[in-house]
Structure 1
Amino acid sequence: MKKRVIWFLFLLLFIVHQDFWWWDDAFLVFDFLPIGLAFHAGFSIVCSILGWAAIKYAWPHDLERFAEENNDEENAI
């Protein structure tokens, strides 16, 4: 279930990233930052949070155990 939510959010961000609706907008955020640039700054923060959530909730823990087991076997030799 958590993996599906992560994938849905990833696809949603992929679609929202195409911010064509602000290409011709001259609005300035805080009177100096173009709205498109402000959007991408916020978008980058949201992407980093999604990356953290993907690692925390959707990471395949079986691969971690497999890698740790192989590492322990190599150290024993």
Structure 2
Amino acid sequence: MLRFIWPLVILLLILHQDNWFWDDGTLVFGFIPVGLFYHACISVAAATTWFLVVLFCWPKGLDEKVSHESTKGEQSV
């Protein structure tokens, strides 16, 4: 899965540097400037990418280790 995630992150970094919509006055849906709409789409894509990172690339067992250590500390008090 990392072979898919890293290129996606790099693509988002490249696409974030938009110079092509600065002078475009086109409105999307009749009221949203195209540059704002583009950044909204990039934000949704970034949120989706990080969701995939957490879902598929998060270390297994990390949460159990933390909860086990916290309950262990509570028992000794």
TM-score of Structure 1 vs Structure 2, range by shorter chain? 0.7 to 0.9
State the identity as a percent.
Answer: 36
**5+ residue gaps, structure 2:** none
**TM-score normalised by structure 1 residue count:** 0.80
CA distance in 1, matches of 2:3, 2:66: 25
How large is the RMSD of aligned CA atoms in angstroms? 1.6
Counterpart check, 1:37 vs 2:36: yes
Q: How many residues align?
A: 76
CA distance in 1, matches of 2:5, 2:67: 25
Moved over 6 A (4+): none
* CA offsets 1:34-64 (integer angstroms, 9 cap, x no match): 1000001111111111111111001112433
**TM-score normalised by structure 2 residue count:** 0.80
**Equivalent residues in 2 for 1:51-70, closer than 5 Å:** 51-70=50-69
**5+ residue gaps, structure 1:** none
Paired AA for residue 10 in structure 1: V
